[in-house]
Amino acid sequence: MTVYVDVLLLINTLVNYFMLLGVKLITGAQAKRYRLVLGAALGGISALSVFLNLGFLVTLLKILTAALMILISFPFVSAKAYIKKCIWLFIISAVFSGVCLAAYLLFDTDLMIYSNGTVYFDIDITFLTVCTVISYAVISLILRLTDKKKPSKQYYPITLISGNEKITLRGFMDTGNNLKEPFSFAPVIVTNEEIYKKLYSAGNNCKERIIPVSTVKGEGIMTAFHLDGTVFTGKNIHNIYLGCGENLPQDCDVLLCPDLLGDAYEKNKKSV
Q: 96-111, pLDDT tens digit by residue? A: 666 655 655 665 555 5
Report the pLDDT averaged over residues 26-38. Answer: 82
Determine the Cα–Cα distance for residues 205 and 124; give it in Å rounded to an integer: 66
- Residue 93 burial (C-beta neighbours within 10 Å; 0-12, 13-18, 19+): buried
Task: Report pLDDT digits (tens) over 48-87.
Answer: 665 556 556 766 877 888 899 999 998 876 788 889 889 9
Range with lowest mean pLDDT among 40-49, 167-176, 235-244: 40-49
Range with lowest mean pLDDT among 148-162, 165-179, 197-211: 148-162
Determine the Cα–Cα distance for residues 142 and 126; give it in Å rounded to an integer: 24
Structure confidence at residue 149 (pLDDT): 46
Report the pLDDT averaged over residues 251-271. Answer: 65
Beta-ladder partners of 211: 222
Dihedral angle over CA of 192, 194, 195, 198, nearest 10: 150
Report the pLDDT averaged over residues 36-45. Answer: 86
Q: From the centroid of its chain, how far is CA 125?
A: 30
Report the pLDDT averaged over residues 137-147. Answer: 61
Q: Please say if the pLDDT value at position 177 is more than 70.
A: yes
What b-and-e string marks burial along 6-43, b requiring 16 or more CB atoms within 10 Å of the CB? ebbbbbbbbbbbbbbbbbbeebebebeeebbbebbbbb
* Percent of the chain at pLDDT exceeding 70: 65
Higher pLDDT, 118 or 88: 88
Structure confidence at residue 266 (pLDDT): 43
Q: At 131, is the secondary structure helix, strand, or coil?
A: helix
Q: At 108, is the secondary structure helix, strand, or coil?
A: coil
Q: Please say if the pLDDT value at position 268 is more than 50.
A: no
Q: Please say if the pLDDT value at position 264 is more than 50.
A: no
Determine the Cα–Cα distance for residues 272 and 188; give it in Å rounded to an integer: 19
Mean pLDDT (the chain) is: 76
Higher pLDDT, 103 or 42: 42
pTM of the predicted model as reported, rounded to 2 decimal places: 0.47
pLDDT band at 263 (very low <50, low <70, confident <90, very high): very low
Q: At 264, is the secondary structure helix, strand, or coil?
A: coil
Report the pLDDT averaged over residues 20-28. Answer: 80
Range with lowest mean pLDDT among 66-80, 127-141, 245-259: 127-141
Quote the CATH superfamily of domain 155-268.
Acid Proteases (2.40.70.10)
Hey, which of 48-57, 127-136, 222-231 has the most confident mean pLDDT? 222-231
Total number of residues shown for the chain: 272
Q: Which helix (H) or strand (E) holds 176?
A: none
Contacts of 118 (CB under 8 A, 6+ apart): 8, 12, 47, 49, 50
pLDDT band at 128 (very low <50, low <70, confident <90, very high): low
Say if residues 202 and 163 touch (Cβ distance below 8 Å). yes
